[in-house]
Amino acid sequence: MTKLSVNINKVATIRNARGGNAPDLLQVARDCELYGADGITVHPRPDERHIRRADVPALRAVLRTEFNIEGYPSKEFMDLVLKAKPNQVTLVPDKPDQLTSNHGWDTEAEQEFLKDILDDLRGAGIRSSIFIDADCRMAEYAAKAGADRVELYTGPYAEEYARNRENAIKPFIETARRVRQLGIGLNAGHDLSLENLAYFIENIPWVDEVSIGHALICDALYMGLEKTIAAYKKQLRF
């Protein structure tokens, strides 16, 4: 079954708004695991507007499930992850001041740059994933660079879903099939929700992992964290 990794960036955003340690990020992460999450995702950004660099080793010390760290592979980011040694590092092409991830890598143009980064991750025993658009060519060049997995950027799928879900899923099915042919793993994330998640997984059941944060935390405001995680896990079964 597809695994659920809960992105806790938004929890850190709330904490940082007032200073102090409320909500307690480490306790929320532990509770997510207790309630059935298969992993925890964080995306530390240079301005530390949500996850702080200091959060990474603290989380690494307490997590019992999979730890996934997303980010642009700057020197500072690579120093951080190579020291923390999470289970997975997801490389995203975000600019330092970017609000959120909104496109994938051009893995052809950035082939040599990504290859060197992936070599470093492999040498440290860290599984790598490259954030890409639903594009077979980008998947092919990610595999050539040596990525263990790709993560499909699902923002366009979520945007089109309400209008025409069959059209929305088509490029993702095509790319996912190519990824499977290439023999690498498949993740997905961004704007997946209780509304659109089940249909995505029904059509691409070989997705290894979905990373969900914003929608899940929003739902938890009404449903509570335990019931929300159970609801998302239910969407992964069909």
Query: Catalytic residue positions?
Result: 43, 70, 190
Give the up-direction half-sphere exposure of residue 80: CA atoms within 13 A in the CB hemisphere: 27
Say what angle helices 136-145 and 165-182 make with each other, to 10 degrees: 30
Q: Locate all alpha helices (DSSP H) within 108-183, ordered by sequence.
A: 111-123, 136-145, 155-161, 165-182
The pair phi, psi for residue 124, each rounded to 5°, is: -90, 0
CA distances from 155 to 71, 74, 92 (A): 17, 24, 14
Residue with tokens 């309630």: 35
Q: Where does residue 214 rank: exposed (0-12), middle (13-18), buried (19+ CB within 10 A)?
A: middle
Looking at the DSSP bridge assignments, the partners of residue 96 are: none
| DSSP-derived pairing of the beta strands 3-7 and 209-212 | parallel
